[in-house]
Each structure stands twice: as structure tokens, then as C-alpha cells.
Amino acid sequence: MTDHSADEDRQVEISELEEALGYRFKEIALLREALTHRSFVNEREGESLQHNESLEFLGDAVLGFLVSDRIFRLFPKRAEGELSKAKAHLVSAGNLVRLAETVKLGEYLRLGRGEEKTGGRKKRAILADAFEALLAAVYLDGGIQAADGLTGRLLAPCLEGLDPEQPFFGDFKSALQEQLHDLGRPAPAYQVVDEIGPDHRKTFVVQVIVDRRVVAQASGSSKKEAQLEAARLALETIKSE
């Protein structure tokens, strides 16, 4: 027997989320998949449900392209390294969590009982992954223009905060620490391994160490600059592992 009341409640929730996104899905099944965590599927074997991890994979690529396109068009004369830093900040886990919270994405997720009990709706990793899956669902449902529209609306405050007259130094050290925390790994350690050149023009070489392993190395004209660059490289390394 179908629970019509439950079905109606879920449809109301879907409509509320679509309103927050400013996008109406033609294929609601795509949206439901984007909202479905693996824990929900694991508790319902035999129901032929699909979790959102494949969509997350696609959404990561779509987001990277759209963000790269936007910052390139905004700042076409900036150096590649500066644009890479801006991109890394905009697609960082911390920023994705903020975007997810903007549309209250956690409220609409389909979680297993275990994740529900342990606060899964507010877990940073789950929110960041779900946002990427959501973007992929919009892309598959409405094409690149729909995905670009959603990205533009949600990223507008972040893009307005980027000052082309200032270096693009996102807080990569905080982003790296947040990412490692979400993965259940220890905090990173920064070690100056070399100082090159005279005192008035010294270059510092810094390594980022996680789990007693060097995950990235970078140099800079100050320890802070070298640490920030090393943290940015470490974020890319960890994300690709």
C-alpha cells in the first residue's frame, strides 16, 4: 500500500529545494539520486536505489570547468598561478559546504539511520560531496547552461569578494586542515627544509607532512607564502588520492 502522505511530503521538500536552487528538474530522479547518500542505499538492499557518488565524480569536473571559465573571464590578464589559487579557494571543501548551507542542502539528504544519528546532515564531507552531485544532476538534466546558471547564482558573493588588485591567497592552510579532519586524518605539519639566498632576498622551502609523509613542497619569499603554496599543492594531492 502506498503512503500517499509521505509521497506528498517528499514532493513538497523537492519543490522547496528547487525554489532555493532557482531550477526546476525535468527528471526528478536525477535530483533524488544526488540527494541519496551511500548509507541510505546500504540499508535498502533489493530496492535498486543509486547513491550519489557517481554524480559527485561528474560534478567535481563540471564545477572545476565552470569555475575556471568564470575566473578566467573575470581576470583574463592574471597569471596562471594566481588563477589556480583563486580556483582552489572557490572549489575547496570549505567553500562547497558554505554553498550547500546556502540552499539548506543538508535538510533534503536521504541518509541511513546511522548517519542520521551521528549528525550526517551537518557533516562537512557529506555536504560538499552532495553539492557536487547536485551540480552534476543539474548539468545532466538541463545542460551546461543550467549548471552555469546555478554556479553563477551561488558563487556570486564569493566572486564579488575576489579583488583583482590583490594577490589571490585563499586560506589554504585552513582548507587543508578541514579536508584532513573530514577524512579522519591528523592535522598537517609544516617544516622549513631549506633557506636559499642572502638575508635580504631569501627563498624559503617548506614541506607539508601528513601521517609522517611529505605530501607537498613549495617555496616562497616568506615562510607564510611558502606554507600557503605548499598547502594548496597538498589539497590537490589529497583530492586526487
Active-site residues, by number, are 60, 132
Closest C-alpha among 213, 171, 222, 172 to residue 192 = 222
SS3 sequence of the chain? CCCHHHHHHHHHHHHHHHHHHCCCCCCHHHHHHHCECHHHHHCCCCCCCCCCHHHHHHHHHHHHHHHHHHHHHHCCCCCHHHHHHHHHHHCCHHHHHHHHHHCCHHHHCECCHHHHHCCHHHCHHHHHHHHHHHHHHHHHHHHHHHHHHHHHHHHHHHHHCCCCCCCCCCCHHHHHHHHHHHCCCCCCEEEEEEEECCHHHCEEEEEEEECCEEEEEEEECCHHHHHHHHHHHHHHHHHHC
Query: Dmax over Cα atoms in the chain, in whole Å?
Result: 80
